[in-house]
Amino acid sequence: MTGSMTGRLLNNRYKISERVGVGGMAEVYRALDNVLGRAVAVKVMLPQYAENDDFTVRFRQEAAAAANLQSPYIVNVYDWGQDNGTYYIVMEFVRGSDLKNAINQRGAINQRKVAEIGSQVCQALSVAHGLDIIHRDIKPQNIMVQPDGNVKVMDFGIARAKNSTMSKTSAVLGTAHYISPEQAQGKELTPASDIYSLGVVLYESVTGKLPFDGEDAVSVAMKQVQEMPVPPSQVNPAIDADFEAIILKAMSKNPQERFATALEMRRALNDYLAGRTVNVGAFSPSAATAVIGPGRSAMGSGGGAYAPANSTSVMPKLAEESRVVNPETAANYRAPSTNAPRSKRPLVIGAAVVAVLLIVAGVAWALAQGARDGVNVPDVAGKTLEEATDAIQEAGLSVGSVTYAFDPNVESGKVTKQDPKGGSKAPLNSKVNLTLSEGAEQVEVPDLSNMTADEAQRALKAAGLKFTAGAAEHSSDVPQGKVARQSPEKGSQVPAGSNVTYYLSAGEETLKVPDVTGMSESQAKVTLENAGFKVEIEQAASSDVPKGSVIRQTPSAGSSVKSGTTVLITVSAGSESHTVKVSAGSGGTAWASSEMVSDGESVTVYYKADSGYMISQAVNTATGNKFQVSDNEEGSFTIPKVTSSMNISVTFVKKGGNAPSGNQGARGGNPPAAATAPGNGA
């Protein structure tokens, strides 16, 4: 079932995530309630019990009853049902650890804290008993201690289902350390049985030891019926006499001599905690021989008293009560009538004694075999402490020390090591020491910003981390060769030994400008933008490049520039030629750089005066507009735009003389050799 339950969705509502506990009859999983969006605990009955009709009927009745229990000290039952033969109960998800785990880790717990726990459990029991629900399985494993110190009692109702006929043996023997004498005898139980079990829990919590222990469950059950507990103060001398009296009264062998109700026991515990007088009344917790510590009276300081049984009555009572250790026969056993002839009672007693001796002999043989050959140590690696404890105890062993260690390969809270190892042999009742994982140790990722590769590697090693060098990245902020980026980021909490990748700066990113000359305007724009550049466009006339194609670009093709640089492309507007003619009067020569120019292009006019002459003026003969010229012998002037054909007239005059009258005509041919004029003369 364990493997198949994880990830399962029960009744389209409860999504099972992980197993958090296991017992003899059920497994407990953490789950998500998809309707209410909250974490819940889902207890799933094991198949061998779910297949029994008597059990399922009882289970449904008791689960419904448990759902009605309302107390801050009881784990709430939200829902119950079945899905394809799987019976389950949905409960409150309680954070914390069970009391048994605390005892195993710490040993004896502060007696006032134990009294507080007992008071809260009593309140839970009084609620249940008021609804005629007897827990029947009070033990520290069923008492959850929350982070705030308050407790929650688990498994109300389910324990009663365990006492169905088909499961009687496992119910009695499975929790023999905590069962009441009458439960060991298979008698009809009353709320007093829960009070006895709580007394055992308080005894163990305040001393760190169980009041009755033995080689197996049968011998422990026999001690519950026959033997007196060693007073807690003999195990832990620091225990107050008042608190000891409360514990021993709860553990009285006779149910009538225990506290009448859980509420009465709670009042006694609260009186103790408040420093008030504790009056437990007269009681006799013995069934055989009371053990009183040296120097201590059998009288409790609160006025109560417990007295040892008359030694002459020990054997008859022992023989009479010994019948109960076999729960299968105890269920059908009828006590001898007090009106029966006295001559028959010795026969009954003798038969009971013989039965007990046979059982003890069988147990002793089994124990002898285990002691001689040893028992197999179960492999509990990867189990929770509760799961490991159950497996170890079932093997006839017990849990020794419990320590914690970081282990990145084992989930926190689960066993990472055990001694002895699983699969080996160990003496019966010997201890198995456990190491629980705390998960991977968490470390903080250091800040590698602006470090060199060597500096970054040293910092990561010092933090207990591994490293990988990623591909260099361009950065406009970080110098080349220094760490520009890291993953995970600085300050992150990661498991020790994790890998951190650092990326060195390759300096500022530069790109080569692609050659787009000759491309169409749209093609050139797409090419440059895809390469990471911005684009500006201007137009110019060209007689050589078709209209709409790129004449030139700036920066030029192949230049290395920053990403995002703007590239200016000049697009041809086509060719439209205009004629510029230049004529000059006598006394000098003038000519244009080119007679044929395109629309929008400028043209330069050069002039050179003859010896003794200087330029006077230059005029557009069509418009009369004059061009600015220098009063010297040689120079040039520029016509910014040529939008139509034009004639330029240049006039020269003698130095110190007046301007000649009229235009003396154009000078044809090429300019004189001294003038290095481009193009043709006019």
Q: Hey, CA dihedral for 547, 549, 555, 561, is it positive or negative? A: positive
Q: Residue 599 sits in a domain of what CATH number?
A: 2.60.40
Strand, helix or coil at 194? Answer: helix
How does DSSP assign 388-457, residue by residue? Answer: HHHHHHHTT-EEEEEEEE--TTS-TTBEEEEESPTTSEE-TT-EEEEEEE--SPEEEPPP-TT--HHHHH
CA distance 44 to 63: 12
Is the separation of the CB atoms in 650 and 590 below 8 Å?
Answer: yes
Cα(424)–Cα(497) distance, integer angstroms: 32
pLDDT of 348 over the 50 cut:
no
Model confidence band, residue 355 (pLDDT cutoffs 50, 70, 90) = low
Please give the single-letter amino acid code of residue 355.
A
679: pLDDT strictly greater than 80: no
pLDDT higher than 70, residue 268: yes
| Residue 165 confidence class, pLDDT cut points 50, 70, 90 | very low
| Mean pLDDT in residue range 278-307 | 45
Q: Which of the pair, 174 or 537, is modelled with greater confidence?
A: 537
The C-alpha R_g of the chain, in whole angstroms, comes to: 52
Segment 393-417 shows an average pLDDT of: 84
pLDDT cut 90: percent of the chain above it: 43
Going by C-alpha positions, the residue among 163, 210, 180 that lies closest to residue 324 is 180
Phi-psi region of 492 (alpha: psi -120 to 50; beta: other; left: phi over 0): beta
pLDDT band per the 50, 70, 90 thresholds, residue 682:
very low
Q: Are residues 295 and 156 in the same domain?
A: yes
Q: Where are the alpha helices (DSSP H) in 327-399?
A: 327-330, 345-373, 385-394
Predicted pLDDT of residue 403? 75
Q: Do 69 and 206 have their domain in common? A: no
367-378 pLDDT, tens per residue? 455 555 689 999
Q: Which residue range is the domain that position 430 belongs to?
A: 374-437
- Structure tokens belonging to residue 181: 């004498």
Question: What is the average per-residue pLDDT within 149-167?
Answer: 61
In a domain, 64, yes or no: yes
DSSP-assigned beta bridge partners for residue 436: 404, 415
pLDDT tops 70 at residue 638: yes
355 found inside a domain: no
Residue 678: inside a domain: no
Is the confidence at residue 325, as pLDDT, over 60? no
Question: Does 141 share its domain with 88?
Answer: no
Ranking 315-319, 437-441, 631-635, 639-643 by mean pLDDT, the lowest is: 315-319
Residue 34: give its domain's CATH number.
3.30.200.20
Q: Write down the catalytic residue from 54, 79, 98, 137.
A: 137
Give the C-alpha separation, 242 to 36, whole Å.
47
Q: Is the pLDDT confidence value at 40 over 80?
A: yes
Closest CA to 119 of 54, 73, 80, 171: 73
CB 509 within 8 A of CB 557: no
Kindly report the CATH number assigned to the domain that includes residue 449: 3.30.10.20
306 and 174 within one domain: yes
Active-site residue flag, 137: yes
> Residue 157's pLDDT is what?
53
Residue 248 has pLDDT above 90, yes or no: yes
Q: Tell me, yes or no, whether 659 lies in a domain.
A: no
Share of the chain above pLDDT 70, in %: 78
Q: Are residues 143 and 228 in the same domain?
A: yes
Residue 358 in any domain: the answer is: no
Q: How confident is the model at residue 523 (pLDDT cuts 50, 70, 90)?
A: very high
Residue of 666 and 217 predicted with greater confidence: 217
Asked if residue 120 lies in contact with residue 265, where contact means CB atoms within 8 angstroms, the answer is no
Q: Between 584 and 46, name the one with better pLDDT.
A: 584
Q: Let me know: does 388 contact 380? Beta carbons within 8 Å.
A: yes
Higher pLDDT: 40 or 386? It is 40
Q: For residue 107, how many other CB atoms are within 10 A of its CB? A: 12
Final residue in a domain of this structure, among 66, 92, 118: 92
Q: What's the domain count of the chain?
A: 6
Residue 220 domain-assigned?
yes
Does residue 44 sit in the same domain as residue 113?
no
Q: What is the mean pLDDT of residues 266-279?
A: 92
Q: 45 with 83, same domain?
A: yes
The pLDDT value recorded for residue 346 is 47
178-187, 561-570, 599-608: least confident range: 599-608
Out of 385-389, 480-484, 554-558, 598-602, which region has the weakest mean confidence (pLDDT)?
Answer: 598-602
Q: Over the stretch 49-58, which tens digit does the pLDDT of each residue have?
A: 777 777 777 7
Average pLDDT of the chain?
79
Whole-number pLDDT of residue 385: 84
- Pair (295, 147) in one structural domain: yes
Fill in the amino acid letter for 220. V
Report residue 199 as tokens.
């007394």
**Domain containing 300 — which CATH number?**
1.10.510.10
Q: Give the rounded distance of the alpha carbon of 421 from its chain centre.
A: 30
Final residue belonging to a domain, choices 475, 504, 533:
504
Furthest-apart CA pair in the chain: how many Å?
A: 177
User: How confident is the model at residue 177, as a pLDDT?
Assistant: 93
Of 97-101, 369-373, 538-542, which one has max mean pLDDT?
97-101
pLDDT tens for 171-212 read 343 478 999 999 988 888 899 999 999 999 999 999 999 999
Q: Is 509 a residue whose pLDDT tops 50?
A: yes
- The per-residue pLDDT for 65 is 72
**Cα separations (Å) of 257 from 87, 126, 282?**
39, 18, 8
pLDDT value at position 293? 36
pLDDT value of residue 400: 81
Q: Are residues 589 and 618 in the same domain?
A: yes
What is d(CA 91, CA 76) in angstroms, rounded to the nearest whole number? 6
Residue 602 in domain: yes
- Does 461 lie in the same domain as 414? no
Rounded Cα–Cα distance for residues 553 and 268 (Å): 99
User: What's the pLDDT at 280?
Assistant: 86
Last residue of a domain, one of 415, 437, 459: 437
Residue 113 covered by a domain: yes
pLDDT band, residue 393 (cuts 50/70/90): confident
- Do residues 539 and 584 both lie within one domain? no
The pLDDT value given to residue 667: 36
Q: Is 490 a known ligand-binding residue?
A: no
Residues 541 and 647 in one domain: no
At residue 601, does pLDDT exceed 60?
yes
pLDDT of residue 661: 39
